[in-house]
Structure 1
């Protein structure tokens, strides 16, 4: 799994790539959104910025931003994401088409061969 965090000016503020084992695409995307929220909530650098988490899976964005949970396997993950987003207040999850997410796809493929997580934060 991989992700790119951007601020409200669309500047890249963080990249991450993580190994998650074998997961279906819905679960992998939910885990990526969760990981992004976890990174944001654990670093004071992000707490003073408006951060955008973009996903290329419309249904995952809908689950995170609305009342539905998808399958029963997703309930705890999505509930935790919603709680983190509520606490953060400055973070949103939006849909981006797959064509604009090619860099994230590369990070996700990279993560499938990793033994440890890679997280790179910008210092601007």
Structure 2
């Protein structure tokens, strides 16, 4: 399973949004999310986007039998997830939480992708900047249609 994730901001420490799209090996969309995270800096938004993707995946039926691959267009966030000791101290709290969550997954990987490969997640993150209500849409039955899928939330 692959989660493309992104963060978006309006100005320095302005309103921020995060968004992501989970697809399976057939590139079928399984989950999308978009949400506002209030005012934060862009580095924190990047980590919160990854954290949200892991939380959603951990709440799904795939958590016990699928590896999670997260693709992100922020080289800093990818580096910090893969090498937490390189992150600024103010990000350590979030990285510790992410590390604990990753331990509960069957397998995981965080990869850097070019911005062009992450456009759908970028659109969802930009939408999230202005949202009043979070969007979490789960698709089931391999049809691409929204379904009553239980995420155990």
Is the contact made by 1:3 and 1:15 (CA closer than 8 Å) also made in structure 2? yes
Structure 1 stretches lacking a partner, 5+ long: none
- Alignment of structure 1 residues 98-117 onto 2, 5 Å: 98-117=115-134
1:84 matches 2:101: yes
Match of 2:67 among 23, 41, 50: 50
* 1:72 equivalent in structure 2: 89
TM-score by length of 2: 0.72
Matched residues, number: 124
1:31 matches 2:48: yes
Structure 2 stretches lacking a partner, 5+ long: 1-17, 143-153
* 1:2 equivalent in structure 2: 19
How has the CA–CA distance of structure 1 residues 69 and 12 changed in structure 2, closer, same or farther, with 3 Å as cutoff?
farther
C-alpha displacement of 1:9: 4.7
Over alpha carbons, which structure has the higher Rg? 2
Normalized per residue, the structure richer in helix is 1
